[in-house]
Structure formats: structure tokens, C-alpha cells
Amino acid sequence: MISLDGSLIAAIIIFLVLIAALNHILFKPLARVQAERASRTTGLMAQAQEQINNQLDLFNKYQAAIKNARREGYRRQEELRLEALKKGDETLAKAREFAELAVKETRDSIQAQAEIAKQQLTLEAQEMARKISAAVLEKHC
């Protein structure tokens, strides 16, 4: 059996002193090192995740900027194409008007020349008829 004498109290005091000393010398520094290691590991993981998230945000912004630039490029290209078509249509309309005017002027010129030629032929025919009449009358008279 255990007897309660002075040696038990001394053993309890020594035990408590050793626990306090071990706590101060061993357990607290070990817990601090483990906490620091965990915070560094967790901190590095959190920092890496934050950097990954930042890079993903930058990548998404870059993709959006490229998409917007392409969209703007296609819009501008379509705008220029429509403008070119409009100018082409205007040029074609002007050329058509010019050609129609040239054809009308040519027809009018040909018609005027034909009229002049008819008048000259009529005069020449009348002159020939008069000469023929005069020649025939001369032979008979």
C-alpha cells in the first residue's frame, strides 16, 4: 500500500516542477514550431491559390479583351464593306447615267445626221430628176 509520508509530497513537487520545466523547455517550443510550420505551409498554399486566382482573372480579362477586339474588328470590317458597297453602287449609278447620256447623245447625233442625209438625198434626187427631165425633154424636142 501507499503510505502518505513526506517522500510522496516531495515526489509530487518534483513531478510538478518537471512538468512545468518540460512544458517551458519542450512542449511550448515544439507547439510553436509546429504552428509556424503549419502556418507557413497553409500560408504558402493560400498564397499560391491567391496567385492562381489572380492569374485566372488576368487570363479571363485577356480573353474578354481579345473577344471584344475581334468583335470590334468584325464590326469595323463590316462597316467598311458596307461603305465600299455603297461607294461602288454610287459609282455604278454615275457610270450608268453617263453611259445612258452618251447613248442618248449618240442616238440624237445619228438621228440628226440621218435627217441631214435624207434632206441631201432628197435634194440630190430632185436635182437628178430635174436633170433627167431636162435630158429627156431635150431629146424629144
Q: Does residue 141 register a pLDDT over 80?
A: no
If DSSP states are collapsed to H, E and C, what string results for the chain? CCCCCHHHHHHHHHHHHHHHHHHHHHHHHHHHHHHHHHHHHHHHHHHHHHHHHHHHHHHHHHHHHHHHHHHHHHHHHHHHHHHHHHHHHHHHHHHHHHHHHHHHHHHHHHHHHHHHHHHHHHHHHHHHHHHHHHHHHHHHC
Confidence of residue 59 (pLDDT cuts 50, 70, 90): very high
Distance CA 133, CA 74 (A): 86
pLDDT digits (tens, 9 = 90+) for 88-136: 999 999 999 999 999 999 999 999 999 999 999 999 889 898 888 888 8
What are the grid coordinates assigned to 21, written together? 520545466
**CB 16, CB 9: distance < 8 Å:** no
Q: Are 18 and 24 in contact (CB under 8 A)?
A: no
Measure CA 43 to chain center: 42
pLDDT at residue number 66: 97
pTM above 0.75, yes or no: no
